[in-house]
Structure 1
């Protein structure tokens, strides 16, 4: 058992969402599966300690009895043990919650921009990433064209792919332009900032949680993901978008370059690409009804999304 590797007295274990909540003599801990090498885990631990020293009480990672970050069970599966920050997740139905999550993200970015990135670290090109995803759309289109019969998902895909591909290519153009100007400064980013990974704690503060996807990148990617998730749940309501942006900017300002980068990231059809990727990697003899429903809903909301993007373009 991976928990046996730690100096802990565990009184109770509760199975959570892919993890184990442990009541211990030094507070609640969370044992979570870890994918990555030891050095990356050490960097994550150091970064979280830096964030805490700079005023944000985020989760900290424990060391084993042998002073290792990663522990392994009898099957050699890897885990890390970290503090459990109890609280309720951000509600996508509450403007106040979404504002609170946005402010917490801005506070996190203000701290992380002070944390020095290693000089030899590589930051993924957003332009190249967008290009790869656009190529996947084209590849799926060509695959469908070769088929004699189309299923429900493929029929919906063929109805809308041109519009989404055009948005992806336009986004890639903007990302290329911004990348060439080299005006954006990379920092460590949360990597999966959404309504599930920011909680309102018993101390009355909003805190980001679950930093396992932290990576060097651009802070606008965190903000874009958060906004995208919130807006998808709220029919791309401009008032919701304004509330999130205003709350973020009340803590951390966004200059013209940051706003243009944010615009490009929101323009990119991220959810459409995820659905296409999932379908491309699945068995074609059986179509997942959930994927069909998600694509139909995405198409249904596309008009509202485009209306918001048009309004955003007008102010950038």
Structure 2
């Protein structure tokens, strides 16, 4: 994206006063406030669903970004080369500080308030799926879910898939005659983490996670989908979430888990902070037994190990960044504290 691409703003009812570069975007001060301009190449249907969620939140007093329509009433605007762009209402606050207890607790409180509100009605295709949930077999339900990109994969299917992918990566590494330092270290750590993965896979299959997922779909519960410090700002009015591109119908505790895990990794799995985050969430949105069990299952799965494996497998194998090996070593160093915390929650 370059300065010339800002001509797309001529297709909006905006008077631009100044512009500056943001993270992969342009930020523009206008007569209607701060807006962000970013490239877009995704699904129009998905974008429409995203903006529906944002309007739903805005109408209920939850601060978030919002996609703006151009003068023709479209959410996507094309430049002279046919490249698509979206323009969003934006905020000038600072990003959530992962070292600040105040920011962390504020982020958790905001997320719990967001979850209390996010039950989105009037989705025709979803109503079809919900109406058939108790009358169709599992295969048919899976077919329905695959046709609806804004319904998330159930936890049991996700964990089973990740476990299979870990085995695939291990098998690939073992065939390589000349192994990198990352590959050698990964294979050393693999038995321990795979044992955990297989145990959690058995545990999730024996749990009521699939029933909980179906219940949340029927109740139209929506998740942010990518709730992290990078997508949460603080300004004078408090917290505001942005970048809802991955919002979907799902078990809402998945949002809290993603934020929780990232913070705990950065804080060395500080047990006191972890419990404070859990209590902060439950102050605003108490968790039932099924959701708490779902949260504990997610925490018990070695997701960070899978993420490193997945990143490796989808990148160039001839050159592996030193940072990947460093992340693997940090993961190993923190593993004891992570297991202790998971055991403490049980």
Counterpart CA distance in 2 for 1:68 and 1:80 is 9
1:179 aligned to 2:209?
yes
> Which residue of 61, 68, 71 maps to 1:62?
68
**Structure 1 vs Structure 2 CA RMSD:** 1.7
- Structure 2 regions of 5+ residues with no counterpart? 130-144, 146-150
- Structure 1 regions of 5+ residues with no counterpart? none
> Which residue of 12, 27, 31 maps to 1:6?
12
> Which residue of 81, 84, 90 maps to 1:78?
84
Counterpart CA distance in 1 for 2:209 and 2:171 is 30
Question: Structure 1 residues 303 and 44 mapped into 2: Cα distance closer, same or farther (>3 Å)?
Answer: same
1:126 deviates by 1.7
Equivalent residue for 1:32? 38
Which has the higher mean CA deviation after the structures are superposed, 297-306 or 175-184?
Answer: 175-184
Equivalent residue for 1:196? 230
| Partner SS, residue 250 of structure 1 | helix
1:133-170 deviation line (CA, Å, top 9, x unaligned):
11111111111222223210011101111222222223
Whether the aligned pair in 2 keeps the contact of 1:44 and 1:214 (CA below 8 Å) is yes
1:18 aligned to 2:24?
yes
> Which residue of 233, 247, 250 maps to 2:280?
247
TM-score normalised to structure 1 length: 0.93
Which has the higher mean CA deviation after the structures are superposed, 9-18 or 72-81?
Answer: 72-81
Counterpart CA distance in 1 for 2:337 and 2:273 is 13
TM-score normalised to structure 2 length: 0.85
Counterpart CA distance in 1 for 2:314 and 2:63 is 40
Counterpart CA distance in 1 for 2:54 and 2:263 is 26
Equivalent residue for 1:222? 255
Alignment of 1:54-203 (within 5 A): 54-113=60-119, 115=121, 118-120=126-128, 122=145, 123=151, 124-176=153-205, 177-182=207-212, 184-186=215-217, 187-203=221-237
1:60-98 deviation line (CA, Å, top 9, x unaligned):
211011100111223323222111122122211111111
Which has the higher mean CA deviation after the structures are superposed, 269-278 or 167-176?
Answer: 167-176
Whether the aligned pair in 1 keeps the contact of 2:20 and 2:27 (CA below 8 Å) is yes
Whether the aligned pair in 2 keeps the contact of 1:95 and 1:243 (CA below 8 Å) is no
Whether the aligned pair in 1 keeps the contact of 2:209 and 2:294 (CA below 8 Å) is no
Counterpart CA distance in 2 for 1:59 and 1:181 is 32
1:185-228 deviation line (CA, Å, top 9, x unaligned):
1322101101111111222x112122122122110110000000
1:245 deviates by 0.9
1:300 aligned to 2:333?
yes
Q: How many residues align?
A: 312
Whether the aligned pair in 1 keeps the contact of 2:209 and 2:290 (CA below 8 Å) is no
